[in-house]
Structure 1
Amino acid sequence: MSIWVRVGDFVANVASTALTSVVEAVRTTFEGDPETRRRVSFSIAMIALSAKMAKADGVVTDHEIRAFQQIFSIPESERAHVARLYNLAKQDTAGYESYAAQMASLCGSGHPNCKCLEDILDGLFHIAKADDYVHEKELAFLTRVGEIFGFDEAHFQTIAARHVNLGDADPYVVLGLRRGASFEEARRRYRQLATENHPDRLAARGVPNEFLTIANDRIAAINVAWEKIERELKAA
């Protein structure tokens, strides 16, 4: 069954208009089915947090809506349910910290730098950069969500570097490498990241197949960073 049918059925049967109540309903409704709970939780987290993040700079642009649609391939029959959740979340940014903490408890592993929560942050950055500029308020929003999700500063910078130009060290930050790393060290790191971020690994973490844009964006950024570092180290 498509994840969107699951999400649509769930949203249609939740009477409350309070976002926190929706989150708690996910926890109880799918208590005996952890795999479905992970998939539904991830989907709802991406929908609601992307709506709140897009509103962080005061306006939801057409570019951001299109970026949202690039990540979410939603069947026509389920769009009204998804729109209901998105519109509920985008009313303002109030309460996003509490909401992010609840989603971390549902989607996360409980360990620092959780890969599933990294998938959510990548999706949020994809939307934030849609208009070719990550507004300072959007970056503040993402930074705070990263803190709530349990990312240390270095790991958050690695995620951000895939989307935001951080200067000369950009490709090294993307791969989480120190300047001065050897060619063999850099290549091992690249291969590790390529394996960890293969789309099949995302599916194992509960990321629905409908969200492959996240995986494709991440792999593309990792490949570009490696190409730059490879050229630099071979020329040295």
Structure 2
Amino acid sequence: MSIWTRITTALAALTNGEGLAAVFEHLRSPPERTIAFTIAVIALSAKMAKADGQVTRDEVSAFREVFAIAPEDEAGAARVFNLARQDVAGFEDYARRIAGMFGTGSPTLCDLMEGLFHIAMADGQYHPNEDAFLERVAQIFGMEQPRFMAVRARFVPDAQRDPHSVLGVSPDMPLDEIRKHYRQLVRDSHPDVMIARGVPEEAVQLSQKRLADINRAWEEISARRAA
């Protein structure tokens, strides 16, 4: 059974009068979290699209890159997106329910934020409203500011590109400590680890850009210290 079939089943379980935000109350067990992760990215993307006032083809393409949506599944994804846009619940309510489901500060929420940044930057522009939106979502998720800025630095062109920011470490940290942090980031980005914490297989390619960025940052820091 594809994840999109499972999403359709989850939506069908909503009772009359329930908005999409209510679906997160029904998806708390580990096997269902992959469904919840996908719905969460779609739903928050829909709310974010309202923040900058438009949905571009680039953003739609970016979402397809994250989840590898087959043509026969596009209608299901569109339904979730439209339900979120039409839902009277605000994005903060969505974010709180999602945080409650995965647990505040969960690494899965960081994975989700990366998906949102990927979609936000798809059109090559980072709208101030998108920045405010994502920062507020990160706060609700319990994501510490340095970690949020590390993710932002990897996606937003005008963000500080210092390699220490990318790894989320301070420049005065000993190299051995930075190495330990870097290796932990690599372990956390392994596809098997991501799947175990609830990221659907369709979205593990999110780790590819992360690994490329953190490897580049570590190499740059190592080269500077060796010089």
State the TM-score, normalizing by the size of structure 1.
0.86
| Alignment partner, residue 54 of structure 1 | 49
Q: Which amino acid aligns with 2:2?
A: S
Is 2:28 the counterpart of 1:36?
A: no
- 1:79 Cα deviation from its structure 2 partner: 2.2
What's 2:5 paired with?
Answer: 5
Which of 125, 132, 138 is residue 117 of structure 2 equivalent to?
125
What residue is the counterpart of 1:23 in the other structure?
21
Equivalent residue number for residue 160 of structure 2: 167
Residues 145-224 of structure 1 mapped to structure 2, 5 A cutoff: 145-165=137-157, 166-167=159-160, 170-224=162-216
Cα distance in 1, alignment partners of residues 167 and 9 from structure 2 = 40
Deviation per CA, 1:44-78: give whole Å up to 9, x if none. 10111112113311111121111111112223333
Q: Which residue, out of 211, 219, 222, partners 1:230?
A: 222
Task: Give the corresponding residue for 2:99.
Answer: 104
| Aligned-residue identity in percent | 42
TM-score, normalization by structure 2: 0.89
8 Å contact kept, 2:62–2:118: yes
Q: Distance in 2 between matches of 1:94 and 1:8?
A: 20
Aligned-residue CA RMSD in angstroms? 2.2
**In structure 1, distance between residues paired with 2:138 and 2:52:** 18
Shift of 1:17: 7.0
Measured against aligned partners, the alpha-carbon deviations of 1:77-102 in whole angstroms (never above 9, x if no partner) come to 33212211112223589611111111
- Measured after TM superposition, the shift of residue 105 of structure 1 is 1.1
What displacement does 1:25 show? 3.8
User: In the TM superposition, what is the alpha-carbon distance from 1:26 to its structure 2 partner?
Assistant: 4.4
How many residue pairs get aligned? The number is 226
The aligned amino acid for 2:55 is V
- Report if aligned partners of 2:24, 2:98 keep a CA contact under 8 Å in 1: no
What amino acid is aligned across from residue 152 of structure 1 in structure 2?
E
Gaps of 5+ in 1: none
1:134 corresponds to 2:119? no
**C-alpha separation in 2, matches of 1:103 and 1:153:** 19
Tell me, in whole angstroms, the C-alpha distance in 2 between the residues paired with 1:42 and 1:153.
Answer: 22
Structure 1 consecutive aligned stretches of length 4 or more whose deviation exceeds 4 Å: 15-18, 91-94
CA deviations on 1:118-169 (whole Å, 9 max, x unpaired) are: 111010000111122211110100000001111121221122122124335x
The answer for the alignment partner of 1:95 in structure 2 is 90
More divergent stretch after superposition (187-196 vs 85-94): 85-94
CA contact (8 A) 1:175 1:190 kept: yes
3-state SS of paired residue (1:74): coil
